[in-house]
A and B are shown apart, each in its own frame.
Chain A
Amino acid sequence: MSKEIFVIIEHRRGTIRDVSYELLTKANDFANNIGGSTAAVILGNELDEMVQHLKSSAHKIIALKNEKLGDFHSEYYQEALKSIIEERSPLLVMLGHTSASYDLAPALAVAMGLPLISGCSDLRLEGNKVITLNQVYGGKINAEYSFETEKGGIITLLPGSVPAKPGGLSAEVEEVNVSFEREFEDKVFIQFVESAAGEIDITQAEKIIAIGRGIKEEDNIAMIEEFAQSIGAVVACSRPIVDAGWLPKDRQVGSSGKTVKPKVYIALGISGDFQHLMGMRNADTIIAVNKDPNAPIFGAADYGIVDDLFKVVPAIKDKLAQL
């Protein structure tokens, strides 16, 4: 079996996504530990510029080219990846745990008869076993999963599991022109659609007060808005708040919402599921208020208050008024 690690590069509208550099960082570490090497596998139509960006981050770059690969389409991606993986038998194929891999990885694994562990935050090799660390039950419990590497295997890594580091490598580039024997006319990509834009841009905000399900009722939001105004912050939220129609979609922080990097992020009644954390973990200072001492948000926060937000928020308002 080879000791090559394939990292499937994700890009959208001509730009490589951050998660790919994180994956490469992780893959290079992993490869170093086992005396193997990394290959960044990028699929697309016009790849030259993106390939340049990847050069220092992997031992090798495999650029799979075809006009059908321009925008992500799981079926074409699957076909192209299947043949290269069959041909090269890498030890491990790594993808980001992202919308692309949700659509691609499980089908690819089944099609190739390979084991798949999705959504892990760490991995290691022990003997002939790949062992991963996963967060389950909303991040309240860690699980260790494993598979045997005889035939290889696939893992998808949670975005944000490692900070991306420069690789200091210089990759040789291998270009492969892919051809497809069939067209996937039953599943056709039409276009990208932006969610409707509102007037407040939370991604630009310096101070964010974010509310989650702990806010309990729509009516309670008024009190938070007032608090936010008093310190010049904007109100953002977790997704259930948007689902409930309490705040518009563009206030949602997280993997399916916005990524924010404010100076301070105050999370009120947010449990801190990973999808949410992904959108705010890079804030300079995170303060969390949650009744549940075991809420995962405290794992991401710099400061925490284990208490009822309906007690803490009025108290903060009072203190601010005294200042």
Chain B
Amino acid sequence: MNSVVCIKRVPETAEATLKIDPANRKLEVDNLVFGINEADNYALEQALLLEEEFGGEVIVVSVGPPETDEIIRMALAKGAGRAIRISPENLSELDPYSIAKLIAHELEDEEYDLIFTGCQASDDGFSQVGVALAELLGIQHLSMAVKMETEEESATVNRELEGGLMAQYKLNFPAVITIQTGLNEPRYASILGIKRAGSKEIRVVEPGSWNEKMVELNKLSFPPPGKMAEIFQGSPAETAEKVCEVLKTKGLL
């Protein structure tokens, strides 16, 4: 079973102080640490598990700058066979449609049973590339997979709906499946493994400047502080006191 996994390099922003560049178009990345997008890591693991079970090859594809090789090498260390990195010049301006298009173009000559992507990227949160890619390639897709039972040519997949409900589908291959976090337990890429993976192929594609996008990013800004909460100041003992007051006035104690 051959699978393609699309992965994205994203900054870890949960705890970091974010800065926007003077043109209000990009995040300043100097102080940020990057890694593989969380859901993509589960997608990669799913592909590797299938390779272990059914044989075949796992091919990693990423649209990103040269630094993306860091996460690609990790994927190769974990067991992917080879990788394709697509690095257009105007990368930061591209919309999900363009990303899907670039990937679809590179997959034309590949043979695959399944294409995995994460269900959502933690940076822009669009959740578009996987499903758009399926449409461009003219194959089936299913998004937000939380459970997957695979056979040679098909899989039974539960996709996540709201409110703890799942919808179960049967899907024939070839297909694109976008993976939700929690589907499996991603493995670790050791440093020696990453070094050894240095000999595996990363094919670099440089399509120059890409002009087919349909959506523009106008600007980035920080959310207005207005709707912020009333922040209790003081020592833990003082703030705790105020919490208790709130609970008391609401009749909750």
Direct contact of A and B (CB under 8 A): yes
Contact present for A318 and B135 (CB under 8 Å): no
Once the chains bind, are B229 and A193 in contact (CB under 8 Å)?
no
Q: In the complex, which residues of chain B have a beta carbon less than 8 angstroms from the beta carbon of A114? A: 214
User: Does the CB pair A195–B13 fall under 8 Å?
Assistant: no
- Chain A at the B interface: SS class: mixed
Cα A241 to Cα B143 in complex, Å, equals 22
Chain B residues with CB under 8 A of A147: 214-216
Q: Write out the residue numbers on chain A whose beta carbons fall within 8 Å of the beta carbon of B163.
A: 257-259
A266–B253 CA distance with the chains assembled, in angstroms: 14
For the complex, is A48 an interface residue (Cβ under 8 Å from B)?
no
Which residue of chain B has the shortest Cβ distance to A288 in the bound complex? B229
Q: Does residue A162 face the partner (Cβ distance < 8 Å to B)? A: no
Q: Which of A49-57, A62-70, A300-308 is the contact stretch?
A: A300-308
Known contacts A292-B15, A316-B244; A323/B166 CB under 8 A: no
Q: Using known A-B contacts A140-B13, A263-B250, determine if residue A311 contacts B131 with beta carbons closer than 8 Å.
A: no
Q: Which residues of A contact B167 (CB under 8 A)?
A: 71-72, 99, 189, 191-193
Q: Which residue of A lies closest to B216 (CB)?
A: A146
Q: Which of A115, A184, A188, A312 contacts B214 (CB 8 A)?
A: A115
Q: Is A145 an interface residue (CB 8 A)?
A: yes
Please encode chain A, from 265 to 304, with 1 for each CB lying within 8 Å of some chain B CB and 0 for all others. 0100001001000000000111110001110101111111
Nearest Cβ in chain B — how far from A313, in angstroms?
Answer: 8
Instruction: Contacts A99-B160, A187-B169, A257-B164 given; indicate if A318 touches B237 (C-beta within 8 A).
Output: yes
Complexed CA–CA distance, A146 and B163 (Å): 31
Any A CB within 8 A of the CB of B136: yes
- The residues in A between 101 and 153 inclusive whose CB is less than 8 angstroms from any CB of B are 102-107, 109-111, 114-119, 131, 134-147
CB-contacts of B197-215 with A (<8 A): 214-215
A154 to chain B, nearest CB (A): 10
**B217 at the A interface (CB under 8 A):** yes
Q: Determine which of B20, B135, B162, B228 lies in contact with A98 in the assembled complex, contact meaning CB atoms within 8 Å.
A: B162
CA distance A99 to B231 in the complex (A): 34
Of the listed stretches B56-64, B68-76, B82-90, B121-129, chain A binds B121-129
CB nearest to A185 among chain B residues: B172
Which B residues form the contact surface with A (CB < 8 A)?
A: 11, 13-15, 17-18, 20, 27, 95-97, 100, 119, 122-132, 134-136, 140-144, 156, 158-172, 175, 178, 180-182, 214-223, 227-232, 235-237, 239-244, 246-248, 250, 252-253
Closest partner residue, chain B, to A287 (CB atom): B243
List of A residues within 8 angstroms of B15 by Cβ? 292
Q: Mark A195-238, 1 if CB is under 8 A from B, else 0.
A: 10000000000110000010000000000000000010000000
Q: Mark A80-102, 1 if CB is under 8 A from B, else 0.
A: 00000000000000000011001
Give the residue of A71, A301, A318 whose beta carbon is less than 8 angstroms from that of B240: A318
Asked if A136 meets B220 with Cβ closer than 8 Å, knowing A107-B134, A116-B97, A318-B237, the reply is: yes
Q: Is A166 an interface residue (CB 8 A)?
A: no
Known contacts A119-B126, A252-B164; is A131 also within 8 Å of B218 by CB? yes
List the A side residues contacting B239 at CB < 8 Å: 305, 307, 312, 315
Interchain CB contact under 8 A, A144 and B218: yes
Cα-based distance from A118 to B130 in the complex (angstroms): 14
- List 22 interface pairs A-B (beta carbons < 8 Å), by A numbering: A72-B167, A99-B162, A102-B119, A102-B131, A107-B134, A109-B132, A134-B125, A143-B219, A143-B220, A144-B217, A190-B170, A193-B166, A239-B181, A250-B164, A271-B14, A288-B229, A298-B229, A299-B228, A303-B230, A308-B236, A320-B253, A323-B248
Q: Known contacts A143-B124, A190-B156; decide if A320 and B244 are in contact (CB<8 Å).
A: yes
> A186 contacts the other chain (Cβ, under 8 Å)?
yes
B128–A304 touching, CB < 8 Å? no
Q: Which residues of A contact B218 (CB under 8 A)?
A: 131, 144-146
Quick one: closest B residue to A119, CB to CB?
B125
Known: A111-B135, A195-B166, A319-B244. A263 touches B252 (CB 8 A): yes
Select the residue from A107, A140, A146, A304 with max chain B CB neighbours within 10 A.
A107
Q: A31 in the interface, Cβ–Cβ < 8 Å?
A: no
Residues of chain B contacted by A12 (CB below 8 angstroms)? 161, 165
**Given the complex of chains A and B, what is the CA–CA distance between A242 and B183 in angstroms?**
12
B168 touches A191 (CB 8 A): yes
CA distance A145 to B128 in the complex (A): 15
Contact assessment for B240 and A312 in the assembled complex, using a CB-CB cutoff below 8 Å: yes
Contact at B172–A186, with CB atoms within 8 Å? Answer: yes
Known pairs A147-B216, A294-B17; A103 contacts B159 (CB<8 A): yes
> What residues on A are CB-neighbors of B122 within 8 Å?
137-138
Given contacts A105-B131, A116-B97, 15 further A-B contacts (CB under 8 A): A99-B162, A99-B167, A106-B100, A109-B132, A117-B215, A137-B123, A142-B220, A145-B218, A189-B168, A194-B166, A195-B165, A302-B230, A315-B239, A315-B240, A319-B241
